[in-house]
Chain A
């Protein structure tokens, strides 16, 4: 077993439950899904330095978001009037988080995501806004994106979320699985509309395409996820009659658009090495790179889906560190090490397989090549070896 026992139980439990909820005819057993999902209420009393409250952002669609904030230093209990008190420090990142669930499962108040968002607050000293977007198959594309966009506009227009330093809201978009996909698409809309997004954080983002990639064939059914279930979710989310090359699924595919010249935010993309859709995720990162955009790719070789749900593995801590640096980083560029260097090295040495940097000399070679590729003069290079050396 490559994961801790409790992780295995957690993810297997989801897998089992989700299998029961997906019907072959494309419908979804929503009542049972809501019954089984473990939810937690918001809590305006600080717990471990974080308190939360829910806000109905749009009465018409009952769009709700859960806001998580760092408790004040004295740990005092915020009164109702304090909930939307202006943020304190000079610069406070506001992370708009889209939970995962392949567009069909989970909610902002699902325990797994409530827990994750709380960790993000503590880790990044940020305000986190978790969006309870509408789900498939009841609400297909583009409902989730519309809700994400509504949340972005709402966040951007809150005076109490403006950082005192420049009276602007410092917005980051983040999400895992389908949430990562939503983050990408909301960022696209933001760019078109002139709202500034400082960065995207995509954890195991959900992308796909008509072709069957090598990783999909190799890992189908091996680590909790099957191609069959991936296909089901895309059929449930995409407009009827569309295939997986629809740009919502395959943003850099045959029907995709180039982002060249587009002022798209910089991205942190975490890819789990045991996730069967990794080829699509890597292709996504490559697509951003091709357009000249900044991408920090974290390839976590031994990680499975959901590794970030429990703090019982190194990948979890690596990713948390990366996210923390990402939202506080003023660096103009973060080194894209593994992604660019790997094919170079493979060609050069023929011996090194993806992620198999075992010795110090391998690592030195990496650095040399990297230095040659990037203009280290203008950019501070930060090497996060741990992630890629796994």
Chain B
């Protein structure tokens, strides 16, 4: 789908006319029922209802005719100036392009924005360099110039106005609204297949590596069967084998072996998981692009959702060192017409040394705000669990006054450790009346019912992760950042493998699983578009340093992976139409 300034739908299109413009010429009998999706196209990644197909074909023909009259230049503008969304929804995509071509000079709007921005951007750059002179306090923000959002030419996300949806009749632009009408069995099957998919990327298929993996798995199996004597022998054997390995494989094996040993001997990590977790995450942030990607793509969505608002409020469920916000603040500062008033509510766990980490972050951001000329307000909330909060504590202002965004990076999965927690939090989020909810999560199923399955999934996931750290060339081997990043990941491994019950908080789930949950809780997807995709890809090329990172679009969400294995997924949501 392509962003449109004007949300006029083609009037007069209805399912009745679809039937009338029936298959042209000879058409093979489709075996699936008319209300379902075309199964053959579905396998190839395109969701088209069989009943929509003649209409889609007709639109493709119309586009072809338009192409014929405008030469190649005419059509390539659709590639460069316009933003595309959710290519799997062929019907919507084709429709958008038709509308785009029919509207006169749509690209002029975007040109105007980027021209204005270019001017104001150079001014702000000077301000930002002043900020650098502030010295140490701002050191942690030095990365952000590399991914300034600027003003995004064209929309990063697909916004829907509830008004136009109400009156639009049978067909909807948002593919999410097509979902309930899909053939249920196919959706379920697809979801199930997707859920149980195991993407594997092997990098070094050496004999020793295979034996190591085999031994680890055998050990895990022994643990599952509570054959602790065997498990003990095997975990020691893993230690021996690991020594002869090199690089990522050795490190991963060592962490998994340690985690298994803890499980076998029932020695759970004594330190609070929160100790140094912020610092470890910062090193992880420096070493590889996963966090930067999450921040960047979430910010794209938030920035777009805040368009036109004079006061904005971001509720960050995972404030940590606040690394996500300078870039957003800077982009807001660059908005044509000036920045909105920016309020940030940061939530974080209690610190073991009782320092007020949240306020320190708030203060640093306030300083930045001063230098870039953004009115700034900060509140910090200390909470053991997000479920302890509710909307009334956060001083939510009416939506006409202040637009709200709720953001969470790698936090929501922790709520799955306690029954009812995620549901409570999702309800609270709805009560906050957000314009947009953005979250990033690990793309993995580390929350299955069986220990062995979790173990295997995690082994593969973290092997891929460690391999990307190793190969990306950004860091010198065993540089401090790299080691700290590995410790950061190692803690997650330990939690997934050694802990149970409420202690096991690293309960990662896949995007498919999160989608189902958000859908049931009354949220609709907000699609991230080709513009966000492109900028994320360019970001990676700029400083990821490794050729293997890939961004993939998946039904309106963006995933970052190492080679073909997705590892992180960012998605954006809004309250479902009819909910408020």
Contacts and interface: CB of A to CB of B under 8 A. Distances in A.
A44 to B, nearest CB: 4
Contacts of A34: 533, 537, 550-552
A229 B544 CA distance: 34
Contacts of B217: 79-81
Interface stretch (A4-12, A88-96, A191-199, A337-345): A4-12
Interface residues on B, range: 35 or more
A47 B551 CA distance: 25
B471 A59 contact: yes
Contacts of B211: 81
A293 B205 CA distance: 38
Nearest to B85: A35
Interface stretch (B35-43, B152-160, B431-439, B571-579): B35-43
A80 B57 contact: no
A64 B53 contact: no
A311 interface: yes
Interface in A25-48: 29, 31-32, 34-36, 38-45, 47
Interface string A71-84: 00000000111011
Contacts of A83: 200, 202
B205 A9 contact: no
Given A4-B27, A59-B471, A9 B41 contact: yes
A215 to B, nearest CB: 22
Interface stretch (A107-115, A235-243, A278-286, A356-364): A107-115
A42 B84 CA distance: 26
A13 B203 contact: no
B75 interface: yes
A146 to B, nearest CB: 16
A43 B28 contact: no
A38 B88 CA distance: 7
Interface string B205-236: 10000110110010000000000000000000
Interface in B78-103: 78-80, 84, 87-88, 90, 94, 97
Contacts of B550: 34
Interface stretch (A14-22, A179-187, A326-334, A368-376): A14-22
B139 interface: no
Nearest to B550: A34
Contacts of B54: 5
B518 interface: no
Contact of A22 (B76, B197, B198): B76
Nearest to A43: B197
Interface string B19-45: 000011111101000000010110111
B537 to A, nearest CB: 5
Nearest to A52: B200
Nearest to B533: A35
A41 B534 contact: no
A232 B41 CA distance: 28
Contacts of A43: 197-199
A309 B97 CA distance: 25
Contact of A53 (B24, B76, B196, B200): B200
B534 A32 contact: yes
A6 B41 contact: yes
B389 interface: no
B564 A109 contact: yes
A208 to B, nearest CB: 19
B294 to A, nearest CB: 18
A112 B46 CA distance: 10
A41 B547 contact: no
A13 B61 CA distance: 10
A84 B533 contact: no
B23 to A, nearest CB: 5
Interface in B46-62: 46, 48, 53-54, 56-57, 60-61
A310 interface: yes
B10 interface: no
B207 to A, nearest CB: 10
Nearest to B53: A5
A26 to B, nearest CB: 12
A59 B203 contact: yes
Interface string B305-339: 00000000000000000000000000000000000
B72 interface: yes
B196 A45 contact: yes
B60 A64 contact: no
Interface of B: 23-28, 30, 38, 40-41, 43-46, 48, 53-54, 56-57, 60-61, 63-64, 67, 72-73, 75-76, 78-80, 84, 87-88, 90, 94, 97, 193, 196-203, 205, 210-211, 213-214, 217, 456, 459-460, 471, 530, 533-534, 537-538, 547-548, 550-553, 563-566
List the 7 shortest-distance A-B pairs measured between CB atoms, nearest first.
A38-B45, A41-B199, A20-B79, A1-B25, A31-B534, A111-B45, A53-B200
Interface of A: 1-2, 4-6, 8-10, 12-13, 15-16, 19-24, 29, 31-32, 34-36, 38-45, 47, 53-56, 59, 61-62, 64, 66, 79-81, 83-84, 109, 111-112, 115, 228, 309-313
20 contacts: A4-B27, A6-B30, A9-B56, A9-B90, A13-B94, A20-B78, A32-B79, A32-B530, A36-B84, A36-B530, A38-B87, A39-B45, A41-B564, A42-B199, A44-B198, A80-B200, A81-B211, A81-B213, A111-B43, A115-B44
